[in-house]
Amino acid sequence: MSESSPTNPAASIPDADKPKIELQDEIVATEHIARIGGSEIVYTATTGRIVMKDEAGKAQATVFFIAYTRKNSEDMQRRPILFSFNGGPGSSSVWLHLGLLGPRRVLAGDAGQLAPPPYQLVDNDYSLLDWADIVFIDPVSTGYSRAAPGEEAKQFHGLERDIESVGEFIRLYVTRYKRWASPKFLIGESYGTTRAAGLAGHLQSRHGMYLNGLLLISSVLNFQTIEFEPGNDLPYVLFLPTYAATAWHHGRLGADLQADLQKTIQEASTFAAGDYAHALFQGSALPAETHADIVRRVARYTGLSEAYVEASNLRIEIFRFCKELLRETRRTVGRLDSRFIGLDRDAAGERGENDPSYAAIQGAYSSAMNAYVREELAFASDLPYAVLTGLYETWDYSKHQNKYVDVSETLRASITQNPFLKVFIANGYYDLATPFFATDYTVNHLHLEATLRDHVRMAYYAAGHMMYVHEDSLAQLRIDMIDFLNDTLTTR
């Protein structure tokens, strides 16, 4: 049958004459009760997509969000509110949502004790909903968020445009839901911490929206600290304490270092920032005797052989470490969480086939989110929920050509201009994506005035990038975050 057949009259209408379908907001509200912090909390879940438009009214994108607001609050418009997102770039907010903050939590298990599918959702006793309302944001091309028809998604895929679009969503939400008078916090994870620091400056300068605090989970603000490239010796120094912690966890260190994790981390950190950094600084001018000593000590703290350290020219790149540490057992260690181990077909390769710590939790969070949104939150969409899209390699950093992305100065300026802005940073000892010592280095180089240095609070946990998969760390993280949030508001 031809397209011009009278049985298909719409096919004969020119595209220009066809009625255009205007994008509309899709919002669903449902009522729930969950046990949080030892008490039953009654709350409303507002789920949906908001159409983002330019000032001329043209649709640019639809942004998916899930907002939780506690019912029966004495003054809703002044209740604290958290805006949450993950990183990637290209990640939805599912990890912080179903792992740490939301009123429901997926039981995925932990290293060595993974739960099998299908996965169970339970009330999250560690959520912060008893303390503040929470809004989870999926940036464009993640979750159910999409560019509008006729708009290119890549216009949102870059450092500055991402900050602008997420910032516009926050402004719009705060305006529509009358939350300008609420204390406001951002909580981001991984690249989401880069976004959060950028947003602090953007919201402050563009909209006059002064935040009360940032909560940064597994932070990266200065990309020079994590980019292994020729001529940049900084990551080799900053990753070494996490190599030591990882080797400790897998029992690869000498007996004296295996005795006490904290002592070992401190000793490795002192060596990394001192003799090791000095040795790498000297390059080929390093005396042979000193070179041999550094080889021995790097091997001592990393659990690798002296021959491997020598062959690597003293410089252990992260993916090589993940492959080499347990090579003799044909196992690899995780990047996001080095407590997890995996298997590769080729035990002789330089890099693992995948990150076993991501593979261990991907299925649980993805399937739980797809079921949860439709079945409990009553939001129906046939679009695939994009948990993690491959935007990392194509993300636009064009304004940072010939230099490393660094938003730490944006954070410093935001704190200086808004002296009520406080920052909490959570670090995992087994995080090989954003190592704790790299964050220590960044914070110590913020150049904050002495009177403002206590505005940044650090905390450390015996887990990885997503430290909340370890329940003891999850419980402590809730305590630490609530202490921070309370202190932030009582010192206004």
The last residue of one of the domains, among 331, 354, 377, is 354
- Calculate mean pLDDT across residues 148-163: 96
Q: Are 139 and 156 in contact (CB under 8 A)?
A: yes
Task: Decide if 461 is inside a domain.
Answer: yes
Instruction: Extract the tokens encoding 488.
Output: 């932030």
Residue, of 280 and 22, whose pLDDT is higher: 280
Q: Distance between alpha carbon 223 and the CA centroid of its chain, in Å?
A: 14
Q: Read off the pLDDT of residues 460-472 as tens digits, 9 standing for 90 and up.
A: 999 999 999 999 9
Residue 92 and residue 139 in one domain? yes
Task: Decide if 11 is inside a domain.
Answer: no
What band does 422 get if pLDDT is binned at 50, 70 and 90?
A: very high
Residue 276 and residue 392 in one domain? no
Task: Decide if 136 is inside a domain.
Answer: yes
Q: Minimal CA–CA distance to 130: which of 467, 489, 485, 491?
A: 485
143 — alpha (psi -120 to 50), left (phi > 0) or beta?
A: left
Q: Are 7 and 1 in contact (CB under 8 A)?
A: yes
Give the largest CA-CA distance in the chain. Answer: 89
d(CA 429, CA 431): 6
The last residue of one of the domains, among 329, 354, 379, is 354
Task: Decide if 324 is inside a domain.
Answer: yes
Task: Decide if 72 is inside a domain.
Answer: yes
Q: Are 147 and 397 in contact (CB under 8 A)?
A: no
Q: Are 12 and 3 in contact (CB under 8 A)?
A: yes
What band does 279 get if pLDDT is binned at 50, 70 and 90?
A: very high
pLDDT of residue 46: 98
- Calculate mean pLDDT across residues 338-357: 93
Q: Read off the pLDDT of residues 178-218 as tens digits, 9 standing for 90 and up.
A: 999 999 999 999 999 999 999 999 999 999 999 999 999 99
- 135 pLDDT higher than 90: yes
Q: What is the CATH number of the domain that holds 417?
A: 3.40.50.1820
Task: Decide if 15 is inside a domain.
Answer: no
Residue 258 and residue 116 in one domain? no
Q: Minimal CA–CA distance to 467: which of 437, 439, 433, 444?
A: 433
Q: CB neighbours of 204 closer than 8 A, spacing ≥ 6?
A: 210, 211, 414, 417, 418
pLDDT of residue 72: 81
pLDDT of residue 1: 32
User: Helices 191-207 and 408-417, interaxial angle, to 10°?
Assistant: 40
What band does 22 get if pLDDT is binned at 50, 70 and 90?
A: confident
- 284 pLDDT higher than 50: yes
Residue 314 and residue 285 in one domain? yes
Give percent of the chain with pLDDT exceeding 90: 90
Across 77-81, 148-152, 274-278, least confident range: 77-81
- Calculate mean pLDDT across residues 43-72: 96
Residue 326 and residue 384 in one domain? no
- 311 pLDDT higher than 80: yes
- Calculate mean pLDDT across residues 236-262: 98
| Number of compact structural domains in the chain | 2
What band does 8 get if pLDDT is binned at 50, 70 and 90?
A: very low
Residue 157 and residue 72 in one domain? yes
- 18 pLDDT higher than 60: no
* Buried/exposed code over 27-56 (b: 16+ C-beta within 10 A; e: otherwise): eeeeebebebeeeebebebbbbbbbbeeee
Residue 84 and residue 209 in one domain? yes
Task: Decide if 6 is inside a domain.
Answer: no
Q: Minimal CA–CA distance to 343: which of 364, 327, 319, 321?
A: 327
pLDDT of residue 20: 61
The last residue of one of the domains, among 337, 354, 371, is 354
Residue 176 and residue 45 in one domain? yes
d(CA 240, CA 230): 17
- Calculate mean pLDDT across residues 350-366: 94
pLDDT of residue 278: 98
Residue 207 and residue 234 in one domain? no
- 73 pLDDT higher than 90: no
- Calculate mean pLDDT across residues 255-271: 98
What band does 491 get if pLDDT is binned at 50, 70 and 90?
A: low
Residue 297 and residue 322 in one domain? yes
pLDDT of residue 492: 53
- Calculate mean pLDDT across residues 65-92: 91
Give percent of the chain with pLDDT exceeding 70: 95
What band does 10 get if pLDDT is binned at 50, 70 and 90?
A: very low
Residue 171 and residue 250 in one domain? no
Residue 153 and residue 131 in one domain? yes
pLDDT of residue 380: 96
What range does the domain containing 289 cover?
228-354
- 490 pLDDT higher than 90: no
pLDDT of residue 402: 83
Q: Are 82 and 187 in contact (CB under 8 A)?
A: yes
pTM for this prediction: 0.93
What band does 17 get if pLDDT is binned at 50, 70 and 90?
A: low
- 3 pLDDT higher than 50: no
